[in-house]
Amino acid sequence: MSLLKGMFKSRDKPQNRVGSSFSFLFGGTTAGKTVNERTAMQTTAVYACVRILAEAVAGLPLHVYRYRSDGGKERIPFHPLYHLLHDEPNPEMTSFVFRETLMSHLLLWGNAYAQVVRNGRGQAIALYPLLPSKMDVSRASNGELVYKYYRDVEESSNNPKGGYVTLRKDEVLHIPGLGFDGLIGYSPIAMAKNAIGISLATEEYGAAFFANGANPGGVLEHPGVIKDIQRVKDSWNSAYQGSGNAHKVAVLEEGMKFQAIGIPPEQAQFLETRKFQINEIARIFRVPPHMIGDLEKSSFSNIEQQSLEFVKYTLDPWVVRWEQALQQSLLLPSEKSSLFIKFNVDGLLRGDYQSRMTGYATGIQNGYYSVNDVRSLEDLNMLSDEDGGNLHFVNGNMVKLADVGAAYQKNTGGGDV
């Protein structure tokens, strides 16, 4: 413990910033729009990316395994953690909803937290999500991480005024994203707030443009002096402003003229900007554009390869981050050498039907697949031993290179080859 005191100072408090003078926080952007986790989700591209990644992680099979003495592994469905992770982490949520919620927190705030409820033996018996916006991570005097969670009045039955609740490190499941100190992740939304702000601004501009009947604003010119300017302005707006008054014929009196002054959307490259921002946001989350509805650069020949790359380069890092955080926080110290927690992504890596059957046939012919191995991968019922379901076969026409000469002599009865 004295070593911890010597290593960690008060300045080593985990924080989501580079230094005291430069902080990556939600807020205003150069596009004039306020970006935070809630306004960002109003952008269709952000919503689609978060939903795809959250549902992908939530839908993967999640199991607890034990290392076997022969080097293999086996699933242990009767372990207490198996029910929490695979079925329901608490009485109010399914495993899918729990993981989907935490993954959305991780994508928006850069951190995901859950309270770990343990029994007298230290085993986790329930997991409850905690909002990252209410969590503050600091260090105790001994160097240990301390989590302080703010509870609102509605959440604090014992304290009518609300307040902070202090949680020890073993009482919190913390999954951090990419961060500066390895302890606290920073939000992708905050880091890319200008790109998202442009998307929000273009959406608002488009909505206002079409609300005005798809016509830009303009100026009414009068050759003389108008005594009541506001009356003329209100009269014009009530008669011709808005999508409901589109295509009406305007009647101008006393030599007045209408001069449009707005920039037409084609000159402002409105559609091109919106399309670019979709790719920009997809780049933030490393999601292939075709998965959020942009099929411009996708085809039948490359879309399957893009989907496989999504699993390998986008989903796999998140899966490893989840697995290691679950093992670190939920497994007991005595279990960490013999147990591990793993997502199964094999189903997402499967090719088309013909490719799978060709691969299975090769595996059976070369002895590393049995019929039941293949049926298990295809989620089919197992065959009995009497039917040869667990037998392994090897192609008998293949021999070792060193035995080729001996086999030739035996078959021909000859001497030297």
CB-based burial label for 198 (10 Å; 0-12, 13-18, 19+): buried
Reply yes or no on whether the pLDDT at 190 is more than 70: yes
Same domain, 144 and 189: yes
Q: Do 188 and 321 share a structural domain?
A: yes
Determine the pLDDT at residue 81. Answer: 93
Average pLDDT score over residue span 381-401 = 78
Asked whether residue 215 carries a pLDDT value surpassing 60, the answer given is no
Residue 11 has pLDDT above 80, yes or no: no
Mean pLDDT of 97-110: 95
- Do 57 and 42 lie in one domain? The reply is yes
Claim to verify: residue 187 and residue 310 sit in the same structural domain? yes
Among 305, 325, 349, which residue terminates a domain?
A: 349
- 3-state DSSP assignment of residue 321: helix
Q: Does 171 share its domain with 255?
A: no
Residues 60-78: tens digit of each pLDDT: 999 999 998 888 889 899 9
Residues 253 and 357 occupy one common structural domain = no
Residues 286 and 321 reside in one and the same domain: yes
Query: 218-221 and 124-130 as β-strands: parallel, antiparallel, unpaired?
Result: unpaired
Q: What gap in Å lies between CA 198 and CA 40, rounded to an integer?
A: 11
Do 320 and 306 lie in one domain? The reply is: yes
pLDDT at 102 (0 to 100): 96
**What does the pLDDT read at residue 308?**
81
Token duo for residue 282: 């997809």
Question: Per-residue pLDDT for 29 more than 70?
Answer: no
pLDDT exceeds 70 at position 224: no
Last residue of a domain, one of 324, 349, 374: 349
Contact call for residues 110 and 127 (beta carbons, < 8 A): no
> CA 80, CA 362: separation in Å to the nearest integer?
39
Residues 202, 287 within the same domain:
yes
Q: Is the pLDDT of residue 21 over 50?
A: no
Strands (E), 189-335: 218-221, 257-260
* Number of domains, the chain: 3
Of 236, 261, 286, the one marking the end of a domain is 261
Output the pLDDT for position 335: 93
Regarding whether 130 and 88 lie in a shared domain, the answer is: yes
The residue ranking higher by pLDDT, 295 or 42, is 42
Distance CA 119, CA 125 (A): 7
Does 357 or 250 have the greater pLDDT score? 357
What is the structure's pLDDT at 229? 61
Can you state the percent helix, strand and coil of the chain, rounding each to 5?
45, 15, 40
In angstroms, the CA 128 to CA 90 distance is 7
Q: In sequence order, what are the residues at sequence separation of 6 or more whose Cβ sits closer than 8 angstroms to the Cβ of residue 203?
A: 43, 274
Residue 340 has a pLDDT of 94
Asked if the model's pLDDT at residue 312 lies above 90, the reply is: no
- Say which residue, 265 or 97, is predicted with more confidence: 97
Whether 191 and 101 map to the same domain: the answer is: yes
Task: Domain of residue 88: give its range.
Answer: 1-213+263-349
pLDDT greater than 80 at residue 93: yes
Among the listed ranges 108-117, 122-131, 162-171, 211-220, which one has the minimum average pLDDT value? 211-220
Pair 180, 246 in one domain: no
pLDDT value of residue 247: 47
Regarding pTM above 0.75, the answer is no
